[in-house]
Structure 1
């Protein structure tokens, strides 16, 4: 955990990681409408804030340094590995990259990207025929792409929690919920009773356990 390489001030890594992950997310989400771009821009801002603290300036560590050092004096809180705060606090100090929170974060992040990609394909096919998307992820929740963004952000919070991203997470979640409600108004105007029936059967963001275990079948919709 101790080395001579600088732990922070690596702004080139901030830029590189931000660009790579934003482009990676773009390839999965493929924003088209102004609403798509708003949701994607908010997610991009979250990533920039995350990597700015991960490699640039550890604002959270500075802010909490007094409390952290007094409670965990054996940790070098200004080393890079110590940015994995949850691993440090719960005693996984050997290599935080193999800690339980870090591994769990990868599961959420990968799951979020897979969900966004799978939902986009279903949505794209439905848009080509101007029909309601009712298969794949849309048969579990009405807004799988927004769920995907939330899962990715939560995964990053498990891996590298910061004050700024912790503050942004609920704000962005509420924003995605509001965007979803707006989309549903458009869907009802376009599909009428068909969408009402679908909405009565499929939850917005949290799938039914019976559906997850294959005891039900249902449909889906537009972007989110």
Structure 2
């Protein structure tokens, strides 16, 4: 059962390469500027490093669960690389796990998350240039689309390659993003007052309503926001 372990893991060059690619990719979408931006981006980067360390370096989750996995799924070589796609294996997907339902769902979530980060940043940048609140585009659905994007990307990776460490990190990072968002909103209220309070009443923070919020108000006063809202 351990025959493929040395070939499937210990590939630390791939850990570094994949971490660097995805971190740079996220950086190009998010473009952190403030200390708060760097804090949220650094936490997301730590999640990616932990993920790829298990995906290509050392399969900690497989080792921790090996007794239970081997007892309940003796037909699976748990130290092969494909077995790291735990959800496909646990639900009995027989074909290539890269074409499994959870893997496909992960690509949708990851792609959608990066799109939200990029689209949210573009909308925010234009609002900053015009010295007004960002209330259009994704900001007419939720007040924090970029944080939603980070959460979707992490959730997508969890569907693709769940690990004990990233599963433990995920709720911690979600709470951190929510707290960062609340801190930013206090600053926004101090800067924009009743205008931002009215925006908060129209548009939910993280989970969009079924019907689109009509919050893209071009008549809001032209004042410079603090990013990201």
TM-score of Structure 1 vs Structure 2, range by shorter chain? over 0.9
Which residue number in structure 2 is paired with residue 209 of structure 1?
210
CA distance in 1, matches of 2:206, 2:128: 21
Match of 1:136 in 2: 137
Match of 1:113 in 2: 114
> What is the aligned residue count?
219
| Separation of aligned partners in 2, 1:41 and 1:168 | 13
Aligned to 1:17, what secondary structure does the other structure show?
A: helix
1:74 aligns to 2:75 (yes or no): yes
1:159 and 1:30 map into 2 onto residues whose CA distance is: 26
SS in 1 for 2:44: helix
Distance 2:5 2:193 in 1: 64
> Which residue of the partner structure matches residue 215 of structure 2?
218
How far did 1:5 drift?
A: 7.5
Alignment of 1:1-224 (within 5 A): 6-211=7-212, 216-219=213-216, 222-223=227-228
Cα RMSD over matched residues?
1.5
Shift of 1:155: 0.2
Query: Can you list the C-alpha shifts for 1:91-136, whole angstroms capped at 9, x where unaligned?
Result: 0132100000000000000000000000000111111222100111
Pairwise CA distance, 1:86: 0.3
Q: 2: distance between equivalents of 1:94 and 1:64?
A: 23
Say if 1:14 and 1:175 are closer, same or farther in 2 by CA, change over 3 A: same
| Structure 1 segments unaligned to the other structure (5+ residues) | none
The change in CA–CA distance for 1:177 and 1:219 in structure 2 (over 3 A counts) is farther
Distance 1:11 1:4 in 2: 14
> 2 CA distance for matches of 1:59 and 1:181?
35
Query: Which runs of 5 or more residues in structure 2 are unaligned?
Result: 218-224
Instruction: Look up the SS of the partner of 1:88 in the other structure.
Output: helix
